[in-house]
Amino acid sequence: MSQIDDLPPLRDVIRTHALDARKSLGQNFLLDLNLTSRIARSAGDLENVTVLEVGPGPGGLTRGLLAGGAKRVVAVEKDRRCLGALGEIAAHYPGRLEVIEGDALKIGLRDVAKGEPLKIVANLPYNVGTQLLVNWVACEDWPPEWTSLTLMFQKEVAERIVAKPGTKAYGRLGVLAGWRTDAKILFDVSPKAFTPPPKVTSAIVHITPKAEPVPCPLKALERVTAAAFGQRRKMLRASLKALSPDAETLIREAGIEPTRRAEEISVEGFIALAKAFAGDS
């Protein structure tokens, strides 16, 4: 394993600060600095960019981002045990690392960006990763504060984000991501890369916002996809009936046959359904 800076190896950092990964916080620490540097490079040019990192833990990815040239990294960490290790990184990279102790679900991106280009790069804690992604993609204002997301998820979740109609993985997450963003899986990460090793393979997903996604009522899209995929084996005329007594008529108004099922409907089809049901709500 090559050194990317003059700081101690991550195993030594974990030992010094007694940082056992805690399941309750969704923690799995990445110790391979070659890998964390690769993830940082996957986010593209970091010069003159503020990077938001969620759940830095002992700081492996943080170091990759800073060594990779990030102008400023804002690391949000809920586990105060990690603050000492992150403080050592901040001292090594003066003025370039800001550590916030807190809950990433409550962090305002505008306050983080401070008017500069913002990229989000993170090995997301497993227990809040999907909710964070939904928050970032389903924000009220578009284009969003961020210019790209480079995120690690369990591979199963990553496949749901990039899933296309007609596939088993296609669902609410795929519709939401497909509506407003372009998403692709870059590479897999073996469980052996983590301490402790999770039981599943992970994957890095790179997401960029579409400049002008088709206008769509967000709340209606959420209602329609929740109902349709909540009973994905049923035809739409049955799964969407709870949303309106005129469900079958509304489905036809959206240009879709009521006998089709959720996994057969394109993102554009769900947008049409959302617009039809929004007028009926």
Can you say which residues are annotated as belonging to the binding site? 28, 30, 55, 77, 103, 123
> What SS3 class is residue 184?
strand
What is the token pair recorded at 23? 């399941």
Rg (CA), the chain: 21
Q: What sign for the dihedral angle of Cα 155, 161, 165, 171?
A: positive
Beta-bridge mates of residue 146: 118
What is the token pair recorded at 203? 């994957």
* Residues in binding site for S-adenosyl-L-methionine: 28, 30, 55, 77, 103, 123
d(CA 135, CA 43): 20
Continuous segment of H or E residues that includes residue 270? helix 267-278
Cβ 47 vs Cβ 73: under 8 Å:
no
d(CA 62, CA 73): 7
